[in-house]
Amino acid sequence: MTTTPGRFLSLEGGEGAGKSTQMRALSAALRARGHDVVETREPGGSAGAEAIRRLLLEGAADRWTARTEAMLFAAARADHVARTIRPALAAGRWVLTDRFLDSSLAYQGGADSIGADQIRALHAIGSEGLLPDRTLLLTLPLAEATARAAARDAGHSDRFGARDAGYHQRVADAFLALAHAAPARFRIVDATGPAERVTERLLAAIDDPA
């Protein structure tokens, strides 16, 4: 009996876009449709990647240079892909990840000005260039996203959440540029309004064959 290949979905967006809430809701909705869903995240998603996650998110905002961050993210992603994502897809499961390569392209490649080519080169080495079948980009006006992130973190934001508004605007701009450059893979999803409505938009974006 041949196992049907799984489907790989990534959820992207800046701080405060509601990815964690939508990960839970979207996973539940996909399971209700009969899919075997693996929920995972980046940085993290495997034992080795979770260890690197702590290095990346804890400490002062300037703990690492942007290039060091890029290499740490790539190392975490390589372990995540090898230990979690590829085995799940081979078993016919659906994988839904909170962040993947596009976050590195937006944050380190875009906002930190390393450039997309270098980020993609690291990804080609570490993760053999694996890309999601569909990437769902949650978008929200920066002021609303900042307010949501502040309420969520209550003074305990990580190294990335603590960065200034200019940085987060560059991240948002980089995400949109990535989405417009790869329209077959990306779907831009409005994250405003009730969470239930956003989940409906995400499901429609997954179903969209165009």
Residue 166 resides in a domain: yes
Residue 2 resides in a domain: no
Q: Which pLDDT does position 150 carry in this prediction?
A: 72
Q: Which pLDDT does position 71 carry in this prediction?
A: 97
CA distance 165 to 142: 8
| pLDDT tens readout for residues 83-131 | 999 999 999 999 999 999 999 999 999 999 999 999 999 999 999 999 9
Question: For the domain that residue 115 is a member of, what is the CATH number?
Answer: 3.40.50.300
Taken in order 208, 111, 67, 154, the sign of the CA dihedral is negative
Is the Cβ–Cβ distance between 94 and 9 less than 8 Å? yes
Mean pLDDT of 172-180: 97
CA distance 98 to 85: 12
- Name the domain count of the chain: 1
Residue 115 resides in a domain: yes
Q: Return the H-helix or E-strand segment holding 62.
A: none
For residue 58, pLDDT over 90 is answered with: no
Residue 54 resides in a domain: yes
Residue 126 is part of which domain span?
8-207
Residue 3 resides in a domain: no
Residue 31 resides in a domain: yes
